[in-house]
Amino acid sequence: MTQSQLWAPWRLNYIVNAKEERPTECFLCRYASESKDDTNYVVHRGQHSLVVLNRFPYNNGHLLVAPLDHKGSLSELNDAEMLEMQQLLRRMTEALKATINPDGFNVGLNLGKVAGAGLPGHLHWHIVPRWSGDTNFMTVCNDVSIIPQSLDALYGFLKQALAQ
C-alpha cells in the first residue's frame, strides 16, 4: 500500500490552539476594532458589517459576513445592519464567482451553540463556494478536506475584484 501525505501547514495554528483553552475574546470584535485588515483577512468593511476569510475553511473561498457590533441573534440587528449584510451576501457571492468560479454556494447562519455556532455571541453568515465533485472520497478519510488555494492568494483575488 502506498502512503500519501497531504501538506497543509496553515492548519498547524488550529491544531496547536485546539489543545489549549480557547481565548474568550471574540475574534470578529477584534478584527472590527483593528486596522490590520490584511493580517486579519478582512476583505471588506461596511458601515455596519465586515467580511473576513474563514481561517479554517470548509472549502476554498469560505467567507464570514458579520455585524461590526457583537450581536448574537437576529432580533438584535437593526434594519440597516440586516440590509447591509444581506447585500454583502449578494456582493460576495458575485466576487467569488468572478475570482474562483464555483458551481454554487452554501450560505448559512448558525444561531446558538447547539446549532453549530462556533462563536455563538457574534452571529455571522457563512458563504461556502461549492464545485461539482468537491465532496470526493477525501471526506470519508478522517474528515479530510482539501483546500487548493492559500488564504493570502484568495485575499488578493477578492480585494482586487471588490476594487473593480
Q: What structural domains and CATH numbers belong to the chain?
A: 23-163 (3.30.428.10)
Residue 122 annotated to the active site: no
CB count in 10 Å sphere of residue 164: 6
Do you know the residue count of the chain? 164
User: Which pLDDT value is given to residue 8?
Assistant: 67
pTM equals 0.75
Mean pLDDT value across residues 141-161: 75
The rounded distance, in Å, linking the Cα atoms of 127 and 106 is 6
For residue range 7-63, list pLDDT tens digits in order: 666 666 666 666 555 556 899 999 999 999 999 999 999 999 999 999 988 888 999
User: Which pLDDT value is given to residue 126?
Assistant: 95
User: Which pLDDT value is given to residue 109?
Assistant: 93
Cα 99 to Cα 7, 16, 94, 160: the distances in Å are 24, 31, 9, 9
The rounded distance, in Å, linking the Cα atoms of 90 and 81 is 15
User: Which pLDDT value is given to residue 140?
Assistant: 46
Q: Which member of 44, 62, 122, 124 is catalytic?
A: 124
What the block records as the C-alpha cell of 26 is 471574540
Output 158 or 81, whichever has higher pLDDT: 81
Place of cell 461539482: 132
User: Which pLDDT value is given to residue 65?
Assistant: 97
Place of cell 472520497: 137
Query: What is the chain's Cα-based Rg?
Result: 16
User: Which pLDDT value is given to residue 5?
Assistant: 56
User: Which pLDDT value is given to residue 136?
Assistant: 52
For residue range 94-146, list pLDDT tens digits in order: 999 999 999 999 999 988 888 777 888 999 999 999 998 776 544 545 555 66
